[in-house]
Chain A
């Protein structure tokens, strides 16, 4: 199969990207539309509401700030892991990739504490429309984080075997995974102020 399809590891001379990088950008465009639709729904519901609560009074802002820090740091380590591959250093790649995964898991752990706290106080998505959109948006975002962690785990362990046969392709794959990871980070950068601060 690989023999038949060009531009898997090397970029196309005209477009300047590999197939998978163009693919991941298309995928992210579609993700923008998904979260864009949900953010629009948030605006639609909030503007039509008579008493929309203030997020900072209901949600745990310090924990969310901590989570914001964790995700931003994980984006940095993600770039470092890709840069290590570009500089041909597999041990550094493993280190930074492992850090990225741990930070992603840390985000999910903090998030689960937040959820558990709400459930203890009998606050559920059905409580009111604010919590409904809060749980839906953060839940969908958490699912994206989880998928990112799983993909990165694959590239840390079995996926890295590709280094021996096609290092360029592995570097490209990690870069794509990074693009996705930064996108997930970016969604949180929007979610945090919209839900917790406004």
Chain B
């Protein structure tokens, strides 16, 4: 560390300190501030999306009954006398999916954790393009505002499902146009973000930090960035085409002779609604891995740190992530077995779908085996991380029948599918995100979150979230379709209707359980127990920076000579060796990644 660069850093830090408030905390270019902005906005949207779902659950449990307490607050186009209208129910469903995926989970997992942690873990002072990073957040913000505002558009928000299938989406009200505009903002936001992540990882790693010494979290984010970079543009293309259909009266997705409300469409026709499905799922299947890979990254960090031993099969996990990224581009049509695309096409996509489950299983198995023989610290982040394993396991395994065309014919668009992907994303990814919040909160604020409140939050969430999603498998196997406004209208749905009541009460109680998290979060910002730079005794580079790290992150540029998870190295006084610790004397296990 030369004194010149120290002076440099000090000047930059000083210069930053002089910036006005709005440049430092609102239009900030510092990756940590942007990460926190992303995370807080993402958490707010998660909560908003959850509220939409709690309204849906009322209609499903007690169809046709007035919503108590808050039912009268909605206007006539949403609820009449507290009874939800079908159009509003459709809006809730479409926007719940859109908000949770595109404005809640991805911004929190990639924008929030990626922005905050990745530059720290690679030992960089900031992202490669700080200004683009700022633009990325604000594009996301504007996209979110458009989505939120679309509820107040004439005839309400988008109501054609989160997948926006035409021709329904083409003839829907103006809310759908706003949905497409909002998506355009989100797509460009994630484009800028992903370029930043790739360049930062490729160019700005600390001296000595070779690719196979990167923490697994960085690998997960790095590969996720490629998925965002390459999978989102086809959705942009699809959005452009649907906007043309809606605004310029083209017929990209409109077949000839379509009859709408008993009237033959006057459009030129000649389009194909299946084209939208291809373009949409070409994005949306890689998107599934965008949802899950950062979560796996977080879980890997938390598990390695709290088992106090190296990850089992680090290299196999990294190679699996790369394999998943490639394969995720050739599985999209397994969402489309029922479109009549033919058995040859179905066979191809069945095979690729079965193949992609292998690397996913390798990662999950490695994480589970990492627990073996560890002296585990069951703190709050670890509880969430350990719970991730069986929850994601259930989500993954229930996906296998859906990947096989013959089984999918029965299960397609039933509640079984809803149960499957919610197990992946809700008790899977969102639990991992909670683990991440509890794990990196001390780094972001310099204070620890309360363990007692955290554990209450975990156990209540764990019980109720299973209460929400487990019965969906039974319902789905009984043949109950998703998106039903009133399930009691269908004879085959009646036997499982009591389950809807159980699921709804679980959902509302799950919502109440989050109060413990909210209280904990705000209480700990101000009154949490103060911590030093490495409260968990972890090995990766972010824990060598002060908590919270200053602008420029490290007091001196880190140099790395060790693997990411050197825990419990024999012959050491401490049970962890920081990555930045010089590799002097020959120490058993040093330099090895496994």
B477 in the interface, Cβ–Cβ < 8 Å? Answer: no
Q: Are A132 and B250 closer than 8 Å at their CB atoms?
A: yes
B279 A41 Cβ-Cβ under 8 A: yes
Is B220's CB within 8 Å of the partner chain A?
no
Give Cα distance in the complex from A85 to B236, angstroms: 36
A34 touches B270 (CB 8 A): no
> Roughly how many angstroms separate A158 CA and B558 CA in the complex, as a whole number?
37
A125 to B124, CA, bound (A): 49
How far, in whole Å, are A129 and B269 apart by their CA atoms in the complex?
Answer: 7
Cβ-neighbour of A125 out of B195, B249, B272 (below 8 A): B249
- The segment out of B107-115, B226-234, B447-455 that lies at the interface is B226-234
Q: Across the interface, do B268 and A129 meet the contact criterion of CB distance under 8 Å?
A: yes
Among the listed stretches A24-32, A64-72, A108-116, A163-171, which one makes contact with chain B, having 4 or more residues with CB under 8 Å of it? A24-32
**A44 on interface, CB distance cutoff 8 Å:** yes
Is the pair B250, A26 in contact by a Cβ cutoff of 8 Å? Answer: no
Are B268 and A128 in contact, with the CB atoms below 8 A? yes
Q: Which of A4, A35, A126 contacts B250 (CB 8 A)?
A: A126
Complex: chain B residue closest to A18, CB-CB: B203
Quote the shortest CB–CB distance from A134 to chain B (angstroms).
Answer: 10
Contact code string A14-39 (vs B, CB < 8 Å = 1, else 0): 01000110110011011101111110
- Is B355 among interface residues, defined by CB-CB distance under 8 A? no
| In the bound complex, CA of A12 to CA of B269 (Å) | 53
Q: Please determine whether A4 and B248 come into contact, CB atoms closer than 8 angstroms.
A: no
Q: Which of A1, A36, A37, A129 has a CB less than 8 Å from the CB of B238?
A: A37
Given the known inter-chain contacts A19-B129, A26-B194, A44-B278, please indicate yes or no for A4 contacting B233, CB distance below 8 A: no
Interface string of A176-198 (1 = CB under 8 A from B): 00000000000000000000000
- How many residues on chain A are close to B (CB under 8 Å)? 39
User: With a CB–CB cut-off of 8 A, which chain B residues contact A12?
Assistant: 202-203
Q: Is the CB of B202 within 8 A of A126?
A: no
Task: State the interface size on chain B (CB cutoff 8 A).
Answer: 48
Give A5 to B240 CA distance when docked, in angstroms.
36
**Least Cβ–Cβ distance between A62 and chain B, in angstroms:** 27
Check if B364 is an interface residue, CB within 8 A of chain A: no
Question: Chain B contacts of A125 at CB under 8 A?
Answer: 244, 248-250
Determine whether the beta carbon of B233 is less than 8 Å from that of A45.
Answer: no
**B7-15, B94-102, B312-320, B566-574: which lies at the interface:** B7-15
> Which of A4, A126, A136 is packed against the most chain B CB atoms within 10 Å?
A4
Assembled-state Cα–Cα distance A154/B485 (Å):
54
Structural contact, A27 and B241, CB atoms closer than 8 A = no
A49 near B: Cβ within 8 Å?
Answer: yes
Majority DSSP secondary structure for residues of A touching B: helix
With a cutoff of 8 Å between Cβ atoms, the chain A residues found around residue B203 in the complex are 6-7, 12, 15, 19, 22
Q: Is B504 an interface residue (CB 8 A)?
A: no
CA distance A22 to B203 in the complex (A): 9
Q: Is B128 at the interface (CB under 8 A from chain A)?
A: yes
CB atoms of A27 and B195 under 8 A apart: yes
Q: Which residues of A contact B199 (CB under 8 A)?
A: 19, 22-23, 26
Question: Is residue A57 within 8 Å, beta carbon to beta carbon, of the partner chain?
Answer: no
Greatest chain B CB density within 10 A among A12, A38, A132 is at A132
Q: Give complex CA distance A187, B191 in Å.
A: 20
Closest to B11 in A: A3
A102 within 8 Å of B (CB atoms): no
- Asked if A30 and B128 make an inter-chain contact with CB atoms under 8 angstroms apart, the answer reads no
Interface centre among B9, B12, B250 (most CB of A within 10 A): B250
A22 contacts across to B, CB distance below 8 A: 198-199, 202-203
Contact A45 B271, beta carbon cutoff 8 Å: yes
Q: Which of B296-347 contact A (CB under 8 A)?
A: none
B583 at the interface (CB under 8 A from A): no
B251 on the interface (CB 8 Å rule)?
Answer: yes
Q: Chain B residues with Cβ under 8 A from A128's Cβ? A: 251, 268, 270
- Nearest-Cβ distance from residue A19 to partner chain B, whole angstroms: 4
Contact B244 A5 (CB under 8 A): no
Q: Are B125 and A4 in contact (CB under 8 A)?
A: yes
Would B278 and A136 count as touching, CB distance under 8 A? no
- Chain B residues closer than 8 Å to A140, beta-carbon distance: 240
From A3, A20, A34, B234 is in contact (CB under 8 Å) with A34
Q: Is the CB of B128 within 8 A of A132?
A: no
Say if the beta carbon of B29 comes within 8 Å of chain A. yes
A35-B234 Cα distance, complex, nearest whole Å: 8
Give the distance in Å from the alpha carbon of A44 to the alpha carbon of B276 in the complex: 11
- From A38, which residue of chain B is reached at the shortest CB distance? B237
Report chain A residues within 8 Å CB of B268: 126-129, 132
Residues of A within 8 A of B229 (CB): 26, 29-30, 33
Contact A132 B244 (CB under 8 A): yes
| CB-based contact B250/A33 at 8 Å | no
Instruction: Report whether B130 and A129 are in contact in the complex, using a CB–CB cutoff of 8 Å.
Output: no
The complex places the Cα of A31 from the Cα of B234 at a distance, in Å, of 10
B12 lies within 8 A of A132 (CB): no
* A31:B233 contact, CB within 8 angstroms: yes
Nearest Cβ in chain A — how far from B532, in angstroms?
A: 24
B460 to chain A, nearest CB (A): 42
* A124 CB-CB contact with B under 8 Å: yes
CB-based contact B272/A48 at 8 Å: yes
* B8:A3 contact, CB within 8 angstroms: yes
Q: In the bound complex, do residue B237 and residue A37 qualify as a contact, i.e. CB atoms below 8 Å apart? A: yes
Say which residue of A1, A27, A48, A135 sits within 8 Å of B29 (CB atoms). Answer: A1
A–B pairs, 5, beta carbons within 8 Å: A22-B203, A23-B196, A34-B233, A125-B250, A129-B271
- Which 7 residue pairs spanning A and B have beta carbons closest together? A132-B250, A37-B237, A4-B125, A37-B234, A34-B233, A33-B233, A126-B249
Known: A30-B229, A37-B236, A136-B244. 20 other contacts (CB 8 A): A1-B12, A5-B125, A7-B203, A15-B202, A20-B129, A22-B198, A26-B199, A34-B233, A35-B237, A37-B282, A44-B272, A48-B272, A124-B249, A125-B249, A126-B249, A128-B268, A129-B252, A132-B252, A135-B248, A136-B250
The residues of B with any CB-CB pair to A shorter than 8 Å are 8-9, 11-12, 29, 124-126, 128-130, 191, 194-196, 198-199, 202-204, 229-234, 236-238, 240-241, 244, 248-252, 267-272, 275, 278-279, 282, 552
Residues of A whose CB lies within 8 Å of any CB of B are 1, 3-7, 12, 15, 19-20, 22-23, 26-27, 29-31, 33-38, 41, 44-45, 48-49, 124-129, 132-133, 135-136, 140
